[in-house]
Amino acid sequence: MPDLAGLVILAILALGIGIAVNHFRSKPLPLIYHNKAERLEQAVAAISKETPAVIPTNTLSPVTIATTTPATISHITLEEIKRRSDAKEGVILDARAEFFYQLGHVPGALSLPRSDFETAYAKLKSRLESDKNKLITVYCSGSDCEDSQMVAEALAKLGFQQVAVFKGGWDEWTGAHLPEEKSQ
């Protein structure tokens, strides 16, 4: 059947184009699929290889040890994240894609998208790792979004001790008509 043959040829051509386009991407898709959690684990493992967790003690010289049990992640309310934003307390991280962060985010928040964790973490590394005991607050789009929890768990595995998730996310922040900050 010529139509079926035509479809098969189109499919093969499309696969060839897809593989060729992927080859030239800055971050090509691997052959085997890894889900979001697995990709984030890989990113955390890559970051941990570069930077073993350093926990300063009361002695003069820090003791370098491998990351042990991750800290417990707490959940905070809208009132609490607003208080932290107003007081510029700790670091607030936006786990949504960079595009959405630029459209609007919690004032003072930095972008650490789950989808590009390794690259974004590298940019924030010096600011975040200066004190792994500082307050970290993570949010994403809303209560249906799991990215904030995933990023928080990744940060806990990297040795951050006080990580909290604002589950209501950007939806709850904007729903309360709170101020927004936009990126240039």
Residues of the shown chain interacting with other proteins in the complex, contacts defined by CB under 8 A: 2-4, 6-7, 10-11, 13-15, 17-19, 21-22, 25, 27, 29-36, 39, 115, 141, 144
- Smaller CB distance to other proteins: residue 9 or 176? 9
Asked if 136 contacts 155 with a C-beta cutoff of 8 angstroms, the reply is: yes
Residue with tokens 């959690």: 37
Q: Got the DSSP string for 133-152?
A: TSEEEEE-SSTT--HHHHHH
Q: Are strands 110-111 and 91-94 parallel, antiparallel or unpaired?
A: parallel
Asked if 152 contacts 140 with a C-beta cutoff of 8 angstroms, the reply is: no
In angstroms, give the least distance from the CB of 83 to other proteins: 28
- Smaller CB distance to other proteins: residue 17 or 122? 17
- Smaller CB distance to other proteins: residue 5 or 87? 5
- Smaller CB distance to other proteins: residue 40 or 165? 40
Alpha-carbon distance of 137 to 78, in angstroms, equals 11
In angstroms, give the least distance from the CB of 47 to other proteins: 18
- Smaller CB distance to other proteins: residue 34 or 127? 34
In angstroms, give the least distance from the CB of 170 to other proteins: 12
In angstroms, give the least distance from the CB of 46 to other proteins: 16
Q: Got the DSSP string for 45-58?
A: HHHHHHS--EE--S
In angstroms, give the least distance from the CB of 30 to other proteins: 7
Asked if 135 contacts 89 with a C-beta cutoff of 8 angstroms, the reply is: yes
Residue with tokens 């699929």: 33
Residues β-bridged to residue 55: 63
